[in-house]
Structure 1
Amino acid sequence: MEPDETRTDGGVTSTGKDADVFAEDEVGEQYRDTVYRDIDYESLESAPETAEYPKTDGEGRFRLAELPKVPKVSHIVGPSAIMLGASLGSGETMFWPTLVAQNGWGLYWAFWVGVITQFFINTELQRWTIATGESIFRAFERLNSFWPWFFLVAGFLHVGWPGWAAGAAEMFAAGIGIDRGNWPVIGIGLMILIWLSYQAGPIVYNIIEKAQVALMFVAIAGAVVLIFIVGSVGQLANVPGGAVNFGALPQDMDIAVFLGGLAYAGAGGYINLAQGVWAREKGYGMATYQGRVLNPLQTGEGEVETVHESGFAFEPTQTNMRRWKAWWKICQQEHFLTFVVGLLVVATVAMTITAEFASGTDVGAIDMWINVVIPAVGPLSAALLFIVLFIALFSTQYAILEAFVRNSVDILYEMYGRSAGWDLNKVFIGLLTGFTLWGIAIIGLQLQQPWILLVLGAAIAGVMMWPYNALVTILNTTRLPEHTEPGWARVVAMWWATGFFGYFSILLISSQLVGRFGLDVFETTIGVVGSAPGGYVLWVLALVVQVYTMYRSAQGKMQSSDTVENAEEATGLLA
């Protein structure tokens, strides 16, 4: 390397113009423990109400600040590792291995399409935060104050039932050879362990990130070893055929389980919405000027880092344009290399095992693994399976508790607590404690089939992704300026995501109206044609949502075209 060059993310670049874009290593390494830059917020100028800055629509002016220099990908790994942890114990080791065991590899297309779809969804959920420092819930509030409250209620219905702790407890009991009926006691112990882990340091996010990264490393390494020692590697030959079997669905499939699988081709539902809040805590882009949640039990009295009511905006200078392009590139890389690759590896390995040893099973995922698969493999494979499955379920409950509390605190604080003078840090620890006690109480009821809890939450997750995909698409194309808004390829990807989850949500809603309430008038068919009159009404609803989303976002893109000078400086791969 020449003396006048410095290594930055993506390789070797000169210290000339790139020195203004990329952070030096000692600065970039600060992101490994999250970055907060205290700033005199009140002294900052307000961003003009022009096309070069995010639109406020009268909902609080953005303050002008410099877009920070860009660190390496390795420095910002974190939010996607937590998201991966939230995914492993739901879709990747439970739903999809069960679906493939029951229905064969013909469904694999839906898994990988779901994962790639969630890549676009999750990174779009981060976009607003990187550009403004605000959480996605503050952004939803700017659209309409109804939406944060809606997602709070739906989120509780999604993850308010600690099925993952219950599943992990059953797996732990079976793994150490004690009566599986002891799972409630073990499950309660796991919930207490999660709560205690939050007391390990003053910055809450840093604790969770480090714990999840460690758990994910063990889970992925274990999965790679498993495929070679279990004897299911031959099943990989079926993956290509299933991957291109687009649209194939068994006629007798439980649509609730399948929609849950689509939502859980990743974390799903309320958990995905945490991606933007975690990005704020990590300090991505303009979020570096927003405070982190501190544990009041570990910090001094009154010690706070301010999360400002309105976010920030940066001037569209050439340097800031290039920084934005680099920030967007590394955030996509972080999510793809951690979340997408991790999911594909672990889930595919799990599917090969269940396809090999549990083909045609008709039991739930927990029973399938414990009663069907594990007895069929050797002692070493069985021990490693217990470890990997326990970690997957435990890490998911860990991440879900974290995501629910963090999302809900953000909503409650922004919608009411800020104006009421609440202490954000105390609200966090209070809700964390309350939600942990709630989980303990639910586990204490000793429900006999934890799998039921997972199916219920998963179906709700799939349905709630339909409206927020539409909202995020509209938000990012109508409120952000030209140089930070999504490009056409991403807009089309989000149109697909909205239609994808809308389609299966309608099938689920119909199946519940018909199956649970006997309202045959709402019956729908997979091919739409042949649906009952009420079913056609449901399909029209989906069409209206889809057309409105496409119209508003396309209109926003066209109206912002050529409104920012040299906006092309900010565009790059999958901008």
Structure 2
Amino acid sequence: MDSSDINSDRPLGRDDATGTDTPDARVPAQRGPAASESGEAEARPAEAPESAQEERYWKAGRLEAMPIRPLPKAPPSIHILGPTVFLVALGVGMGESYMWPRLVLIFGPEIRWLFLVGVSLQAVVMLEMSRYAMATGESIFMGAARVFKPLMWFFFVTAMLVYIWPGHLSAGASAFQQVTGIPWQATAVAGMLLVGVVFTMAKVIYNLLENVLSICIGLLVVGTSVVAALVGNLSDLSSTITGMFAFGYMPDEALTAAWFPVIVGSIAFAGPSGMQQMWYTLHLRDKGAGMGHHIPRIRGLRHADEQESMPSRGFMFDTSDPAEMSKWKGWRRWVTFDAFVLFWGITMLVTISFTVLAQASARLDPNVATVLRDGQQSAALDAMASSFSAAGSPVFGTVFFLFISLIGLNATLGLFDSFSRGQADMTYFFIPGARRFSMSKLYAFFLWGVIAFGIGVLLFGPADGPAAILDTLAFLSTFAMGAYCVTLLLVNNLRLPKPIRPGIVSNVLIAGAAVFYLGMLFYSLFAFGVVVS
């Protein structure tokens, strides 16, 4: 492709200086020819544009072809805020604060090598999820549909089954009750309503959430590190860190029906689990990363009428232009910093802090290890808080519960936004008649739908959902992780131009992750008759 062939009309997007939607973004780009089934790399001119300047397209699958547009210049690689804050908020949860500390106390710190493998695989997945999103401005769901539409519908249904249960919020509200005495149901309901109102009133939802979650994550990282330093000792820290490199360690008890499903679930929850990595592609789009620069952002319902027209497909840049490829490499450096410094680093730091806290609590109160072994999550958190109080001050116990409350808040903010964002995206593009509503209104529909369902469950049913389907939901969540690895391989290798497809190392790692997740899941199912726990 010759960069001089790119259409000179201003594309859908945002002003580079202000980050606001450009006025002429209201004019949709000219529609391109239908793509071939094979999705073979090809740029073809539109039918005789009046400007006498050819519009050029990239065809990917049967869906509408993507017009060629300039790739914006990448920001500096080293940065603080970014879309990764959503993954950290979703990923730092009960896996880091409860499941892995529990496994360490039962099997020793050497079991943490599995956590290192799990969170490192997720960092690689994050990099590959970003590839398609930044190259096209489309979500990975659209990419999946360009490969095989039923693949996308699998994720639509899975999200509806797995992520409507208010479990994270319930856990956080229960911890808040320990501090304030306010009934957890009241706190949880008030929290959901507050989230709904704030998201509804926000002008640009992404901006608000990035700022709020950055503050919350900062408090969590600094707070847990300080308390861990006060309560733990160098021996706790040393064993926690060195245990991550005991590759291959697997005691006999870990391979039993009682514990292997727990380990599978813990590996899946080493960082964000289920579909959370897929939603990250939508946050990249709203951040304006790569070709997401040309896509309007989702607004709160109050400002939905200000939304620019959402294009019916994404865009592609000229991969034969050296200048464009240079900018692409800048974006890859930017997201690599996000993946390995912010995501991997912050997640690792928080789980190290909680593991040190757990080991310190077990040393101060041996009953903690017994309670953890019995699998009583709420009792275990109570015991850990009590041991911290005994270490020096009742304040430590209160702070511990506040950390758990903060984790619940972070996860709820991230999940409500991500679920609504993902479902709105698939609905807008693939459900007939949905485009008469703006993306922002569809987002609000799913947001208030999940809030209404959550309130109903909290008031009239079990907070984690019907017990009879919990195993199925856990299975679907972990199965989705293996499925999205397969989806990544197909989308990035079949629907992107060759110059920006992943290399052999990335493909091998993603394929290995698919085998890792699906293999352990089905082994647990067929060997023990149990899915993840």
- The TM-score range, normalised by the shorter chain, is 0.7 to 0.9
What residue number does 2:286 align with?
Answer: 281
Query: Whole-Å Cα distance in 2 between the matches of residues 441 and 464 of structure 1?
Result: 26
> 1:266 is matched with which residue: 271, 275, 288?
271
> How far apart are 1:45 and its partner, in Å?
7.3
Q: Secondary structure at the match of 1:92?
A: helix
What residue number does 1:552 align with?
Answer: none
Q: Are residues 1:78 and 2:62 paired?
A: no
Between 160-169 and 225-234, report the one with greater CA deviation.
Answer: 225-234
Mapped contact 1:130–1:287 kept (Cα < 8 A): yes
> 2:170 is matched with which residue: 166, 172, 190?
166
> 1:38 is matched with which residue: 9, 15, 25?
25
Paired AA for residue 57 in structure 1: G
Closer, same or farther in 2 for the Cα pair 1:395/1:66, shift >3 Å? same
> 1:119 is matched with which residue: 120, 123, 137?
123
> How far apart are 1:433 and its partner, in Å?
0.6
Count of residue pairs brought into register by the alignment: 484
Give the share of equivalent positions with the same residue, in percent: 23
Closer, same or farther in 2 for the Cα pair 1:448/1:123, shift >3 Å? closer
Mapped contact 1:41–1:63 kept (Cα < 8 A): no
What residue number does 2:385 align with?
Answer: 374
Q: Are residues 1:69 and 2:69 paired?
A: no
Query: Whole-Å Cα distance in 2 between the matches of residues 183 and 435 of structure 1?
Result: 19
Query: Whole-Å Cα distance in 1 between the matches of residues 29 and 145 of structure 2?
Result: 22
| Structure 1 segment 7-406 matched on structure 2, within 5 A | 30=18, 38=25, 40-43=27-30, 51=41, 55-73=59-77, 77-176=81-180, 178=181, 182-249=183-250, 250-252=254-256, 253-299=258-304, 302-315=305-318, 316-357=320-361, 358-360=368-370, 361-364=372-375, 366-378=377-389, 379-406=394-421
Mapped contact 1:466–1:505 kept (Cα < 8 A): no
What residue number does 2:503 align with?
Answer: 487
Query: Whole-Å Cα distance in 1 between the matches of residues 106 and 500 of structure 2?
Result: 44
Paired AA for residue 290 in structure 2: G
> How far apart are 1:259 and its partner, in Å?
2.3
Closer, same or farther in 2 for the Cα pair 1:317/1:46, shift >3 Å? farther
Query: Whole-Å Cα distance in 2 between the matches of residues 511 and 443 of structure 1?
Result: 35
Between 147-156 and 344-353, report the one with greater CA deviation.
Answer: 147-156
Which digits, 9 at most, give the CA deviation of each residue in 1:39-74, with x for residues without a partner? Answer: 754348779986476542332111011011111245
What residue number does 1:469 align with?
Answer: 485
TM-score by length of 1: 0.78
> How far apart are 1:219 and its partner, in Å?
0.5
What residue number does 2:48 align with?
Answer: none
Paired AA for residue 321 in structure 2: T
Paired AA for residue 212 in structure 2: A
| Structure 1 segment 415-494 matched on structure 2, within 5 A | 415-417=430-432, 421-445=436-460, 447=462, 457-494=473-510
Paired AA for residue 327 in structure 1: W
What residue number does 1:573 align with?
Answer: none
Closer, same or farther in 2 for the Cα pair 1:265/1:324, shift >3 Å? same
Paired AA for residue 104 in structure 1: G
Query: Whole-Å Cα distance in 2 between the matches of residues 52 and 341 of structure 1?
Result: 40
Q: Which runs of no fewer than 5 residues in structure 1 stay unpaired? A: 1-26, 517-575
What residue number does 1:12 align with?
Answer: none
> How far apart are 1:458 and its partner, in Å?
4.7
Mapped contact 1:112–1:243 kept (Cα < 8 A): yes
Q: Secondary structure at the match of 2:29?
A: helix
Query: Whole-Å Cα distance in 2 between the matches of residues 107 and 36 of structure 1?
Result: 55
Paired AA for residue 516 in structure 2: F
> How far apart are 1:511 and its partner, in Å?
5.5
Query: Whole-Å Cα distance in 2 between the matches of residues 376 and 76 of structure 1?
Result: 35
> How far apart are 1:123 and its partner, in Å?
1.8
Closer, same or farther in 2 for the Cα pair 1:257/1:394, shift >3 Å? farther
Closer, same or farther in 2 for the Cα pair 1:306/1:76, shift >3 Å? farther
Closer, same or farther in 2 for the Cα pair 1:114/1:156, shift >3 Å? same
> How far apart are 1:499 and its partner, in Å?
1.2
Query: Whole-Å Cα distance in 2 between the matches of residues 119 and 219 of structure 1?
Result: 20
Mapped contact 2:261–2:530 kept (Cα < 8 A): no
Which digits, 9 at most, give the CA deviation of each residue in 1:457-504, with x for residues without a partner? Answer: 554321211111011112111221122111122111112111111211
Mapped contact 1:280–1:288 kept (Cα < 8 A): yes
Between 61-70 and 231-240, report the one with greater CA deviation.
Answer: 231-240
Which digits, 9 at most, give the CA deviation of each residue in 1:494-547, with x for residues without a partner? Answer: 1211111121121233267x359xxxxxxxxxxxxxxxxxxxxxxxxxxxxxxx
Query: Whole-Å Cα distance in 1 between the matches of residues 25 and 418 of structure 2?
Result: 25
Q: Secondary structure at the match of 1:57?
A: coil
Query: Whole-Å Cα distance in 2 between the matches of residues 509 and 322 of structure 1?
Result: 47
Which digits, 9 at most, give the CA deviation of each residue in 1:311-345, with x for residues without a partner? Answer: 11111211001001111111111232221111000
Query: Whole-Å Cα distance in 2 between the matches of residues 317 and 105 of structure 1?
Result: 50
What residue number does 2:12 align with?
Answer: none
> How far apart are 1:199 and its partner, in Å?
3.3
Query: Whole-Å Cα distance in 1 between the matches of residues 25 and 234 of structure 2?
Result: 52
Between 182-191 and 98-107, report the one with greater CA deviation.
Answer: 98-107
TM-score by length of 2: 0.83
Paired AA for residue 277 in structure 2: N
Mapped contact 1:36–1:289 kept (Cα < 8 A): no
Between 379-388 and 82-91, report the one with greater CA deviation.
Answer: 379-388
> How far apart are 1:260 and its partner, in Å?
2.2
Q: Secondary structure at the match of 1:483?
A: helix
Paired AA for residue 310 in structure 2: V
Paired AA for residue 244 in structure 1: F
Query: Whole-Å Cα distance in 2 between the matches of residues 353 and 36 of structure 1?
Result: 53
What residue number does 2:3 align with?
Answer: none
> How far apart are 1:136 and its partner, in Å?
0.7
Query: Whole-Å Cα distance in 2 between the matches of residues 191 and 28 of structure 1?
Result: 35
Paired AA for residue 367 in structure 1: S
What residue number does 2:11 align with?
Answer: none
Closer, same or farther in 2 for the Cα pair 1:364/1:38, shift >3 Å? farther
Mapped contact 1:34–1:281 kept (Cα < 8 A): no
